[in-house]
Protein backbone atom coordinates (compact mmCIF):
# COMPACT_ATOMS: atom_id res chain seq x y z
CA UNK A 1 0.00 0.00 0.00
CA UNK A 2 1.39 3.39 -0.95
CA UNK A 3 2.00 5.69 1.97
CA UNK A 4 -0.33 8.66 2.09
CA UNK A 5 1.45 11.98 1.61
CA UNK A 6 -1.47 14.35 2.07
CA UNK A 7 -3.38 14.61 5.31
CA UNK A 8 -6.58 16.48 5.83
CA UNK A 9 -8.73 16.56 8.94
CA UNK A 10 -7.85 14.42 11.90
CA UNK A 11 -11.54 13.64 12.26
CA UNK A 12 -11.48 11.87 8.90
CA UNK A 13 -8.68 9.51 9.86
CA UNK A 14 -10.86 6.45 9.40
CA UNK A 15 -11.99 7.59 6.00
CA UNK A 16 -8.46 8.26 4.82
CA UNK A 17 -7.30 4.88 6.13
CA UNK A 18 -10.01 3.34 4.05
CA UNK A 19 -9.07 5.34 0.98
CA UNK A 20 -5.42 4.41 1.43
CA UNK A 21 -6.42 0.81 1.13
CA UNK A 22 -7.79 1.40 -2.37
CA UNK A 23 -4.67 1.07 -4.59
CA UNK A 24 -6.42 2.37 -7.69
CA UNK A 25 -7.17 5.62 -5.97
CA UNK A 26 -3.90 6.30 -4.22
CA UNK A 27 -1.54 6.47 -7.16
CA UNK A 28 -1.36 10.19 -6.92
CA UNK A 29 -1.62 12.39 -3.87
CA UNK A 30 -3.48 14.91 -5.97
CA UNK A 31 -6.29 12.44 -6.36
CA UNK A 32 -6.71 12.34 -2.62
CA UNK A 33 -7.06 16.09 -2.60
CA UNK A 34 -9.67 15.97 -5.32
CA UNK A 35 -11.43 13.20 -3.48
CA UNK A 36 -11.61 15.49 -0.51
CA UNK A 37 -13.32 18.10 -2.67
CA UNK A 38 -15.70 15.48 -4.00
CA UNK A 39 -16.39 14.25 -0.52
CA UNK A 40 -17.44 17.65 0.69
CA UNK A 41 -19.86 18.07 -2.17
CA UNK A 42 -21.34 14.62 -2.31
CA UNK A 43 -21.77 13.20 1.16
CA UNK A 44 -22.69 14.34 4.65
CA UNK A 45 -19.69 12.98 6.52
CA UNK A 46 -21.36 12.31 9.80
CA UNK A 47 -24.17 10.21 8.44
CA UNK A 48 -22.33 7.62 6.35
CA UNK A 49 -19.72 5.03 7.08
CA UNK A 50 -16.33 5.24 5.42
CA UNK A 51 -17.07 2.76 2.66
CA UNK A 52 -20.29 4.50 1.69
CA UNK A 53 -18.50 7.83 1.62
CA UNK A 54 -15.73 6.42 -0.55
CA UNK A 55 -18.34 5.09 -3.00
CA UNK A 56 -20.03 8.49 -3.11
CA UNK A 57 -16.71 10.20 -3.71
CA UNK A 58 -15.70 7.82 -6.47
CA UNK A 59 -19.08 8.27 -8.12
CA UNK A 60 -18.73 12.01 -7.92
CA UNK A 61 -15.23 11.97 -9.38
CA UNK A 62 -16.22 9.58 -12.13
CA UNK A 63 -19.22 11.73 -13.02
CA UNK A 64 -16.94 14.74 -13.18
CA UNK A 65 -14.52 12.87 -15.42
CA UNK A 66 -11.76 13.18 -12.87
CA UNK A 67 -10.95 9.51 -12.63
CA UNK A 68 -10.33 9.28 -16.34
CA UNK A 69 -7.15 11.26 -16.11
CA UNK A 70 -4.25 11.56 -13.74
CA UNK A 71 -2.34 14.11 -15.81
CA UNK A 72 -0.99 16.73 -13.38
CA UNK A 73 -2.06 19.65 -15.54
CA UNK A 74 -5.61 18.35 -15.82
CA UNK A 75 -5.77 17.74 -12.11
CA UNK A 76 -4.41 21.21 -11.46
CA UNK A 77 -7.03 22.68 -13.78
CA UNK A 78 -9.78 20.85 -11.94
CA UNK A 79 -8.45 22.19 -8.66
CA UNK A 80 -8.27 25.73 -10.07
CA UNK A 81 -11.87 25.47 -11.19
CA UNK A 82 -12.91 24.31 -7.73
CA UNK A 83 -11.02 27.20 -6.14
CA UNK A 84 -12.59 29.72 -8.50
CA UNK A 85 -16.05 28.35 -7.81
CA UNK A 86 -15.45 28.57 -4.06
CA UNK A 87 -14.15 32.14 -4.20
CA UNK A 88 -17.01 33.29 -6.40
CA UNK A 89 -19.64 31.56 -4.27
CA UNK A 90 -22.71 33.55 -3.46
CA UNK A 91 -23.45 34.12 0.20
CA UNK A 92 -26.84 33.18 1.68
CA UNK A 93 -27.88 36.84 1.79
CA UNK A 94 -26.75 37.73 -1.77
CA UNK B 1 -16.35 51.49 -13.40
CA UNK B 2 -14.55 51.85 -10.09
CA UNK B 3 -15.27 49.61 -7.14
CA UNK B 4 -15.09 51.10 -3.67
CA UNK B 5 -14.60 49.06 -0.51
CA UNK B 6 -15.80 50.40 2.83
CA UNK B 7 -15.16 48.48 6.04
CA UNK B 8 -17.89 49.84 8.31
CA UNK B 9 -15.95 49.46 11.53
CA UNK B 10 -17.27 51.09 14.67
CA UNK B 11 -14.47 53.49 15.42
CA UNK B 12 -13.41 54.34 11.86
CA UNK B 13 -14.38 53.43 8.33
CA UNK B 14 -11.57 51.98 6.26
CA UNK B 15 -11.94 52.53 2.56
CA UNK B 16 -10.04 51.51 -0.56
CA UNK B 17 -10.42 51.08 -4.29
CA UNK B 18 -10.49 47.59 -5.76
CA UNK B 19 -7.01 46.48 -6.72
CA UNK B 20 -5.32 49.13 -4.60
CA UNK B 21 -3.82 48.37 -1.21
CA UNK B 22 -3.86 52.00 -0.07
CA UNK B 23 -6.48 52.29 2.65
CA UNK B 24 -7.92 55.58 3.88
CA UNK B 25 -9.21 55.78 7.45
CA UNK B 26 -12.26 57.94 8.12
CA UNK B 27 -12.98 58.55 11.83
CA UNK B 28 -16.54 57.40 12.54
CA UNK B 29 -17.14 60.09 15.15
CA UNK B 30 -19.26 62.75 13.56
CA UNK B 31 -21.20 65.78 14.71
CA UNK B 32 -23.90 67.92 13.09
CA UNK B 33 -24.02 70.39 15.94
CA UNK B 34 -20.79 72.26 15.41
CA UNK B 35 -18.92 70.59 18.26
CA UNK B 36 -15.20 70.92 17.96
CA UNK B 37 -14.02 68.68 20.76
CA UNK B 38 -11.52 66.15 19.49
CA UNK B 39 -9.57 63.27 20.90
CA UNK B 40 -6.66 61.20 19.72
CA UNK B 41 -4.21 61.46 16.91
CA UNK B 42 -6.56 60.22 14.20
CA UNK B 43 -9.30 62.75 14.84
CA UNK B 44 -7.59 65.97 13.86
CA UNK B 45 -9.91 66.48 10.94
CA UNK B 46 -12.34 69.25 10.35
CA UNK B 47 -13.77 67.90 7.10
CA UNK B 48 -17.34 69.02 6.54
CA UNK B 49 -19.90 67.19 4.45
CA UNK B 50 -23.34 68.54 3.51
CA UNK B 51 -26.24 66.52 2.15
CA UNK B 52 -29.97 66.13 2.32
CA UNK B 53 -31.27 63.63 4.87
CA UNK B 54 -35.02 62.96 4.96
CA UNK B 55 -35.69 66.36 3.44
CA UNK B 56 -33.48 68.22 5.89
CA UNK B 57 -30.16 69.84 5.00
CA UNK B 58 -27.39 68.37 7.14
CA UNK B 59 -23.86 69.63 7.57
CA UNK B 60 -21.74 67.17 9.49
CA UNK B 61 -18.18 67.41 10.74
CA UNK B 62 -16.07 64.28 10.46
CA UNK B 63 -13.82 63.18 13.32
CA UNK B 64 -15.56 65.45 15.80
CA UNK B 65 -17.36 64.40 18.96
CA UNK B 66 -16.72 62.17 21.91
CA UNK B 67 -17.89 58.76 20.76
CA UNK B 68 -19.30 57.05 17.71
CA UNK B 69 -22.59 55.15 17.67
CA UNK B 70 -22.27 51.43 18.22
CA UNK B 71 -25.77 50.16 17.39
CA UNK B 72 -26.36 48.29 14.16
CA UNK B 73 -29.26 50.53 13.05
CA UNK B 74 -26.49 52.96 12.25
CA UNK B 75 -25.57 50.80 9.26
CA UNK B 76 -28.81 51.15 7.32
CA UNK B 77 -28.74 54.80 6.41
CA UNK B 78 -28.42 56.83 9.60
CA UNK B 79 -27.12 60.34 8.98
CA UNK B 80 -23.85 59.46 10.74
CA UNK B 81 -23.27 56.57 8.34
CA UNK B 82 -24.25 58.72 5.37
CA UNK B 83 -21.80 61.47 6.38
CA UNK B 84 -18.87 59.08 6.87
CA UNK B 85 -19.70 57.12 3.69
CA UNK B 86 -19.58 60.36 1.72
CA UNK B 87 -16.28 61.26 3.38
CA UNK B 88 -15.03 57.83 2.29
CA UNK B 89 -16.17 58.45 -1.29
CA UNK B 90 -14.52 61.86 -1.30
CA UNK B 91 -11.26 60.38 -0.03
CA UNK B 92 -11.09 58.17 -3.14
CA UNK B 93 -12.84 60.11 -5.91
CA UNK B 94 -12.37 63.51 -7.51
CA UNK B 95 -15.25 65.99 -7.34
CA UNK B 96 -17.91 65.49 -10.02
CA UNK B 97 -20.11 62.63 -11.14
CA UNK B 98 -19.17 58.96 -10.73
CA UNK B 99 -20.75 55.55 -11.10
CA UNK B 100 -19.32 53.02 -8.68
CA UNK B 101 -19.85 49.59 -7.22
CA UNK B 102 -19.66 49.26 -3.46
CA UNK B 103 -18.32 46.40 -1.33
CA UNK B 104 -19.43 46.83 2.28
CA UNK B 105 -17.83 44.96 5.19
CA UNK B 106 -20.12 44.77 8.22
CA UNK B 107 -20.09 42.98 11.61
CA UNK B 108 -20.98 39.30 11.43
CA UNK B 109 -23.93 39.72 13.80
CA UNK B 110 -26.02 41.53 11.20
CA UNK B 111 -25.50 38.72 8.70
CA UNK B 112 -26.58 35.92 11.02
CA UNK B 113 -29.70 33.85 10.44
CA UNK B 114 -32.95 35.07 8.97
CA UNK B 115 -32.14 38.71 9.70
CA UNK B 116 -29.33 38.77 7.15
CA UNK B 117 -31.52 39.35 4.10
CA UNK B 118 -33.50 42.02 5.92
CA UNK B 119 -30.30 43.81 6.85
CA UNK B 120 -28.93 43.65 3.32
CA UNK B 121 -32.23 44.94 1.92
CA UNK B 122 -32.14 47.87 4.33
CA UNK B 123 -28.48 48.53 3.55
CA UNK B 124 -29.21 48.51 -0.18
CA UNK B 125 -32.07 50.97 0.25
CA UNK B 126 -29.47 53.33 1.67
CA UNK B 127 -26.59 52.52 -0.63
CA UNK B 128 -28.00 51.93 -4.10
CA UNK B 129 -28.79 54.91 -6.26
CA UNK B 130 -27.64 58.51 -6.54
CA UNK B 131 -25.90 60.33 -3.69
CA UNK B 132 -25.48 64.09 -3.91
CA UNK B 133 -23.24 65.77 -1.38
CA UNK B 134 -20.75 68.57 -0.87
CA UNK B 135 -17.46 67.67 0.78
CA UNK B 136 -15.23 70.54 1.84
CA UNK B 137 -17.10 72.82 -0.60
CA UNK B 138 -16.62 70.45 -3.55
CA UNK B 139 -19.66 68.94 -5.22
CA UNK B 140 -20.04 65.19 -5.77
CA UNK B 141 -22.67 62.99 -7.37
CA UNK B 142 -21.92 59.32 -6.74
CA UNK B 143 -24.26 56.69 -8.15
CA UNK B 144 -23.90 53.26 -6.60
CA UNK B 145 -25.03 50.71 -9.17
CA UNK B 146 -24.29 47.45 -7.34
CA UNK B 147 -23.38 46.34 -3.85
CA UNK B 148 -21.80 43.32 -2.21
CA UNK B 149 -22.14 42.92 1.54
CA UNK B 150 -19.60 40.74 3.31
CA UNK B 151 -18.85 40.01 6.98
CA UNK B 152 -15.73 41.85 8.09
CA UNK B 153 -13.68 38.71 8.90
CA UNK B 154 -14.04 37.56 5.28
CA UNK B 155 -11.81 40.49 4.38
CA UNK B 156 -9.05 39.03 6.54
CA UNK B 157 -9.42 35.68 4.81
CA UNK B 158 -9.07 37.33 1.39
CA UNK B 159 -6.13 39.44 2.57
CA UNK B 160 -4.30 36.30 3.60
CA UNK B 161 -5.44 34.02 0.81
CA UNK B 162 -5.44 36.19 -2.32
CA UNK B 163 -2.61 37.82 -4.23
CA UNK B 164 -2.78 41.41 -5.49
CA UNK B 165 -4.74 40.26 -8.55
CA UNK B 166 -7.39 38.54 -6.48
CA UNK B 167 -6.21 35.00 -7.24
CA UNK B 168 -5.75 32.29 -4.61
CA UNK B 169 -2.06 32.33 -3.64
CA UNK B 170 -1.84 29.67 -0.96
CA UNK B 171 -0.57 26.10 -1.26
CA UNK B 172 -3.32 25.00 1.08
CA UNK B 173 -6.53 24.18 -0.81
CA UNK B 174 -9.42 26.54 -0.26
CA UNK B 175 -11.55 23.56 0.75
CA UNK B 176 -9.82 23.42 4.14
CA UNK B 177 -11.23 25.29 7.11
CA UNK B 178 -9.82 28.70 8.00
CA UNK B 179 -10.65 30.45 11.25
CA UNK B 180 -10.71 34.23 11.74
CA UNK B 181 -10.69 36.18 15.01
CA UNK B 182 -11.54 39.82 14.29
CA UNK B 183 -10.95 41.97 17.36
CA UNK B 184 -12.53 45.32 16.53
CA UNK B 185 -13.15 48.35 18.71
CA UNK B 186 -16.72 47.42 19.54
CA UNK B 187 -17.12 43.75 18.66
CA UNK B 188 -15.17 40.52 18.70
CA UNK B 189 -16.21 38.65 15.55
CA UNK B 190 -15.47 35.00 14.84
CA UNK B 191 -15.92 32.95 11.74
CA UNK B 192 -14.74 29.73 10.20
CA UNK B 193 -14.59 29.70 6.41
CA UNK B 194 -14.82 26.53 4.38
CA UNK B 195 -14.83 26.39 0.59
CA UNK B 196 -14.88 30.19 0.61
CA UNK B 197 -18.09 30.48 2.62
CA UNK B 198 -18.62 31.14 6.36
CA UNK B 199 -19.79 28.15 8.37
CA UNK B 200 -22.90 29.54 10.14
CA UNK B 201 -22.58 27.52 13.34
CA UNK B 202 -18.96 28.65 13.72
CA UNK B 203 -19.71 32.32 13.09
CA UNK B 204 -20.66 34.72 15.87
CA UNK B 205 -20.00 38.14 17.31
CA UNK B 206 -20.02 39.60 20.81
CA UNK B 207 -19.68 43.04 22.34
CA UNK B 208 -16.18 42.17 23.49
CA UNK B 209 -14.25 44.58 21.32
CA UNK B 210 -11.40 46.67 22.62
CA UNK B 211 -13.89 49.24 23.94
CA UNK B 212 -14.98 46.64 26.55
CA UNK B 213 -11.45 46.74 27.91
CA UNK B 214 -11.20 50.52 27.49
CA UNK B 215 -14.29 50.98 29.68
CA UNK B 216 -12.60 49.01 32.47
CA UNK B 217 -9.48 51.16 32.18
CA UNK B 218 -11.48 54.42 32.15
CA UNK B 219 -13.39 53.39 35.28
CA UNK B 220 -10.30 52.16 37.09
CA UNK B 221 -8.46 55.40 36.34
CA UNK B 222 -11.50 57.43 37.45
CA UNK B 223 -11.17 55.62 40.79
CA UNK B 224 -7.65 57.08 40.97
CA UNK B 225 -8.98 60.53 40.17
CA UNK B 226 -7.69 60.47 36.58
CA UNK B 227 -10.24 61.34 33.88
CA UNK B 228 -9.58 60.09 30.37
CA UNK B 229 -11.74 59.36 27.33
CA UNK B 230 -12.37 55.91 25.91
CA UNK B 231 -10.23 56.90 22.92
CA UNK B 232 -7.38 57.80 25.26
CA UNK B 233 -7.80 54.41 26.92
CA UNK B 234 -7.47 52.74 23.51
CA UNK B 235 -4.17 54.56 23.09
CA UNK B 236 -3.01 53.33 26.50
CA UNK B 237 -3.78 49.74 25.50
CA UNK B 238 -1.81 50.12 22.31
CA UNK B 239 1.13 51.57 24.22
CA UNK B 240 0.96 48.72 26.72
CA UNK B 241 0.88 46.02 24.03
CA UNK B 242 3.86 47.59 22.28
CA UNK B 243 6.08 48.49 25.21
CA UNK B 244 4.49 47.03 28.37
CA UNK B 245 4.33 50.55 29.78
CA UNK B 246 1.70 53.25 29.36
CA UNK B 247 1.16 56.77 30.65
CA UNK B 248 -1.78 59.14 30.36
CA UNK B 249 -1.26 62.51 28.71
CA UNK B 250 -1.11 63.97 32.21
CA UNK B 251 1.81 61.66 33.01
CA UNK B 252 -0.03 59.19 35.25
CA UNK B 253 1.51 55.71 35.11
CA UNK B 254 -1.44 53.53 34.03
CA UNK B 255 0.63 50.39 33.47
CA UNK B 256 -0.63 48.39 36.45
CA UNK B 257 -4.28 49.32 35.78
CA UNK B 258 -4.10 48.22 32.15
CA UNK B 259 -2.13 45.13 33.07
CA UNK B 260 -4.73 44.05 35.61
CA UNK B 261 -7.67 44.70 33.25
CA UNK B 262 -6.39 42.51 30.43
CA UNK B 263 -6.80 39.09 32.16
CA UNK B 264 -10.51 39.82 32.76
CA UNK B 265 -11.04 40.60 29.09
CA UNK B 266 -8.95 37.63 28.08
CA UNK B 267 -11.11 35.29 30.14
CA UNK B 268 -14.33 36.67 28.64
CA UNK B 269 -12.96 36.52 25.11
CA UNK B 270 -11.60 33.01 25.51
CA UNK B 271 -14.92 31.81 26.95
CA UNK B 272 -16.81 33.30 24.00
CA UNK B 273 -14.46 31.72 21.48
CA UNK B 274 -14.69 28.36 23.24
CA UNK B 275 -18.50 28.50 23.24
CA UNK B 276 -18.55 29.30 19.54
CA UNK B 277 -15.91 26.90 18.31
CA UNK B 278 -16.34 24.16 20.93
CA UNK B 279 -12.80 22.80 20.95
CA UNK B 280 -12.93 22.47 17.17
CA UNK B 281 -9.32 22.45 16.01
CA UNK B 282 -10.00 21.58 12.39
CA UNK B 283 -8.97 24.97 11.01
CA UNK B 284 -5.73 24.91 9.03
CA UNK B 285 -4.79 28.37 10.31
CA UNK B 286 -6.33 30.99 12.61
CA UNK B 287 -6.11 34.53 11.24
CA UNK B 288 -5.99 37.44 13.70
CA UNK B 289 -7.27 40.77 12.42
CA UNK B 290 -8.77 44.07 13.57
CA UNK B 291 -7.28 46.89 15.59
CA UNK B 292 -7.20 44.73 18.72
CA UNK B 293 -5.49 41.79 17.03
CA UNK B 294 -2.23 42.26 18.97
CA UNK B 295 -4.24 41.76 22.16
CA UNK B 296 -5.75 38.56 20.81
CA UNK B 297 -2.32 37.21 20.13
CA UNK B 298 -1.97 36.79 23.87
CA UNK B 299 -4.66 34.09 23.80
CA UNK B 300 -3.97 32.79 20.31
CA UNK B 301 -1.76 29.99 21.54
CA UNK B 302 -5.00 28.13 22.23
CA UNK B 303 -5.76 28.06 18.51
CA UNK B 304 -4.25 26.30 15.56
CA UNK B 305 -1.47 28.04 13.62
CA UNK B 306 -2.32 31.62 14.65
CA UNK B 307 -1.24 34.27 12.14
CA UNK B 308 -1.31 37.98 13.02
CA UNK B 309 -2.04 39.76 9.76
CA UNK B 310 0.17 42.63 8.71
CA UNK B 311 -1.36 46.03 9.56
CA UNK B 312 -4.42 44.34 11.10
CA UNK B 313 -6.37 47.61 11.48
CA UNK B 314 -6.80 47.83 7.70
CA UNK B 315 -6.41 44.16 6.75
CA UNK B 316 -10.13 43.55 6.16
CA UNK B 317 -10.41 46.46 3.74
CA UNK B 318 -7.25 45.43 1.88
CA UNK B 319 -8.54 41.88 1.51
CA UNK B 320 -11.88 43.00 0.13
CA UNK B 321 -10.08 45.35 -2.28
CA UNK B 322 -8.35 42.25 -3.67
CA UNK B 323 -11.57 40.22 -3.71
CA UNK B 324 -13.53 42.96 -5.50
CA UNK B 325 -11.41 42.43 -8.62
CA UNK B 326 -12.87 38.97 -9.08
CA UNK B 327 -15.85 38.24 -11.27
CA UNK B 328 -18.23 38.32 -8.36
CA UNK B 329 -20.63 40.91 -9.74
CA UNK B 330 -23.97 39.85 -11.16
Per-residue pLDDT reduced to its tens digit, B86-136: 999 999 999 999 999 999 999 998 998 889 999 999 999 999 999 999 999
Write down the mean pLDDT value for chain B.
Answer: 88
Give the integer Cα–Cα distance in Å for B40 and B24. Answer: 17
Alpha helices (H) in B204-292, listed in sequence order: 210-223, 230-243, 255-277
In terms of Cα–Cα distance, which of A21, A19, A23 is closest to A50? A19
- Of B70, B68, B79, B156, the C-alpha closest to B110 is B70
* SS3 of residue B192 by DSSP: strand
- Residue B173 at interface with chain A, using a CB cutoff of 8 Å: yes
Q: B327: which chain A residues are within 8 Å (Cβ-Cβ)? A: 88
Show residues of chain A in contact with B120, CB under 8 Å: 93-94
Helices marked H in chain A:
13-20, 29-42, 50-63, 72-87
Query: Would you say B24 and B318 are in contact if contact means Cβ atoms under 8 Å apart?
Result: no
Residues of chain B found within 8 Å of residue A79, distances taken between Cβ atoms = 173
Angle at CA B258, nearest 5°, toward B254 and B261?
A: 145
CA neighbours closer than 13 Å in the CB half-sphere of residue B188 = 24
B90 to chain A, minimum CA–CA distance in Å?
27
- Residue B250 forms contact with A (CB below 8 Å): no
Touching B: A residues 8-47, CB under 8 Å: 8-11, 33, 36-37, 40
Q: Hey, of A39, A86, A88, which one would you mutate to test binding to chain B, going by the most B CBs within 10 A of its CB? A: A86
Confidence of residue A46 (pLDDT cuts 50, 70, 90): very low
pLDDT in tens, B8-61: 988 889 999 998 888 999 988 888 765 444 444 344 557 889 999 888 888 888
**Do A33 and B173 make contact, defined as CB atoms within 8 angstroms?**
yes
Nearest to B6, CA basis, from B310, B317, B319, B289: B317
Q: What is the pLDDT of residues A2-43, one digit of tens each?
A: 333 333 333 345 555 555 555 444 445 555 665 666 555 544
Q: B196 and A37: CB-CB below 8 Å? A: no
Query: Among A8, A10, A40, whose Cβ lies nearest the Cβ of B195?
Result: A40
Amino acid sequence: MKKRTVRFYDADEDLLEHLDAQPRLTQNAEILRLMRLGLERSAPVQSLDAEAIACAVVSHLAAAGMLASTQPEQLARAEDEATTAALNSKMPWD
Amino acid sequence: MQTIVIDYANSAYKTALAGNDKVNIIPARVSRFGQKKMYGVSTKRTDAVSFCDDGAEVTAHIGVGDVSRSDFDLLTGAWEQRACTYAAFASLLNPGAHEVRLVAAVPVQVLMGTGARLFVSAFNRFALGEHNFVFNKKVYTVTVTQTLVRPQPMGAFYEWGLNDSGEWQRDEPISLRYAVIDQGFNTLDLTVIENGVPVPEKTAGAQLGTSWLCDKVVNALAGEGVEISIIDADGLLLDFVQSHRCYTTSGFDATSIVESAIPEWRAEAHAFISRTWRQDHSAAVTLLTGGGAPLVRSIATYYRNPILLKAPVTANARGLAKYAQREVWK
